[in-house]
Amino acid sequence: MDFALSAEQQQIRDMVSEFVDEEVVPVADEIDHTDEFPRDLVDEMAELGLMGMPFPEEYGGAGLDYHSYAIGLEEISRGSGGLGTVVAAHTSLAGNMLYEFGDESQKETYLTPLAEGSDIGAFALSEAGAGSDVPAMETTAEKDGDEYVINGGKLWISNGSVAETVTVFAKTDPEAGNKGISSFVVRPEEDDGFIVENTEEKLGDKGCPTAELRFDDLRVPEDRLLGAEGDGFVQALKTLNGGRITIAARGVGIARAAFEEAREYATEREQFGQPIGEFQSIKHKLADMDTKIQAARMLMHNAADKKIRGENYIKDAAQAKLYASEISREVANEGIQIHGGYGYTKDFAAERFYRDAKLNEIYEGTSEVLRNTIGEQLLEG
């Protein structure tokens, strides 16, 4: 594995970093306060090719490798954790489902507008009683002639209330367990019976709407089925595995933001006649924070490297996501501590970083589930 960034990867990093510093950071607090979907920023990112980074140019994407995609998402998340989730759910989940499992017609029709950023994507898997336990889902899809009729509901769906394309998982054979789950392309504006019941008021991750969805006799043509009936469970696992690399990137980005804010504060805040950064305890905190960030980034790129090479990266992606998620919270927590009383107020962004970081340990595989995954991979040899 080459640790040096290529010229293209450096260019991507610099371009996204400049965009984030100029366009995202100045409005990040406003996004956090209003919790409104930042459509204008998404449109700008689409113009820069950031809504379809890993997809081939023939489908409207930027044709970037997974290292570049992770680098880009790290920078976006450094500016706004919510915006990082918008891009990750749109690209790694909804877009990747179409890229990996859609036929040529489905890719041309549905993936291309996602990759170009003219459409927003969402991935509807979780339910109130089926989070980590995917086979417990109750949403069904019954064949009726040349259509499927979908009934049920989904919970915790990032981008769910603003998406033009939603990949929905439902049971086509309720008696077959995980082999009875299938996936479909749903178009909320075209398909009657797609209902947004609610959007959640969350601790953090503001700007990315998290929706509760209901499907009431929602009919989709049979050509919206992704792959074959019964493929959905395996498709979901493969998609989430790749998505974990980008949640690691989100974690690294948020941790960087927390670290950089704390480092700046430590050079400016004075106590006992000197900047607090001169005290050994603060130096040690900053040293630990940066070390954790560097380690998390290496795990992220290691998983990306294995994905690019076509190797088994299940354990690597789980480790990257697990570690980056936990250190993002730890680094954000130390950022608050360095800010002291100010860190517990809305006057500084330190508390926002902490709220945004916590989500990393929950979605796309909780830390507990990831430890199970890593342990199983280790025991399988």
Looking from the CA of 136 toward its CB, the CA atoms found within 13 Å total 8
Task: Specify the pTM.
Answer: 0.97
pLDDT at 185 over 90: yes
pLDDT band at 147 (very low <50, low <70, confident <90, very high): very high
pLDDT band at 140 (very low <50, low <70, confident <90, very high): very high
What's the chain's average pLDDT?
97
Where in the sequence of the chain do the CATH 1.10.540.10 domains occur?
7-120
CB atoms within 10 A of CB 221: 13
pLDDT band at 30 (very low <50, low <70, confident <90, very high): very high
pLDDT digits (tens, 9 = 90+) for 85-126: 999 999 999 999 999 999 999 999 999 999 999 999 999 999
- Kindly state the greatest CA–CA separation across the chain: 79
Active site residue: 364, 368, 376, 380, which one?
Answer: 364
Average pLDDT over residues 302-318: 97
Q: Which residues of 283-306 are buried (b: 16+ CB within 10 A; e: fewer)?
A: eebbeebbebbeebbebbbbbbbb
Give the rounded percent of residues in the chain with a pLDDT score beyond 70: 99
Which whole-number Å values give the CA distances from 206 to 72, 273, 342, in the listed order?
A: 19, 39, 21
pLDDT at 1 (0 to 100): 59
Which whole-number Å values give the CA distances from 74 to 51, 188, 197, 210, 250, in the listed order?
A: 14, 30, 32, 21, 5
Q: Which residue is listed with tokens 């700046």?
A: 264
Q: Report the topology of domain 233-380.
A: Butyryl-CoA Dehydrogenase, subunit A; domain 3 (1.20.140)
pLDDT digits (tens, 9 = 90+) for 199-236: 999 999 999 999 999 999 999 999 999 999 999 999 99
pLDDT at 381 over 90: no
Task: Quote the DSSP letter at residue 191.
Answer: S
Q: At what angle do helices 314-339 and 232-268 cross, to 10 degrees?
A: 30
The domain made up of 122-228 is a member of CATH 2.40.110.10: yes
Q: Detail the DSSP E strand segments found in the chain.
A: 121-124, 140-144, 147-158, 165-171, 181-186, 194-199, 210-221, 225-226, 270-271, 274-275
**Using CA atoms, how far apart are residues 2 and 141, in angstroms rounded to an integer?**
46
- Phi and psi at residue 274, in whole multiples of 5°? -155, 160
Q: Please name which of 203, 212, 225 lies closest in space to residue 351, comparing C-alpha atoms.
A: 203
The reply to whether 368 belongs to the active site is: no
pLDDT digits (tens, 9 = 90+) for 249-296: 999 999 999 999 999 999 999 999 999 999 999 999 999 999 999 999
Q: Report the topology of domain 7-120.
A: Butyryl-Coa Dehydrogenase, subunit A; domain 1 (1.10.540)
Looking from the CA of 204 toward its CB, the CA atoms found within 13 Å total 26
For 178, counting Cβ atoms within 10 Å of its Cβ (0-12 exposed, 13-18 middle, 19+ buried), the class is middle
pLDDT band at 247 (very low <50, low <70, confident <90, very high): very high
Where in the sequence of the chain do the CATH 1.20.140.10 domains occur?
233-380
pLDDT at 3 (0 to 100): 78
Where in the sequence of the chain do the CATH 2.40.110.10 domains occur?
122-228
pLDDT at 2 over 80: no
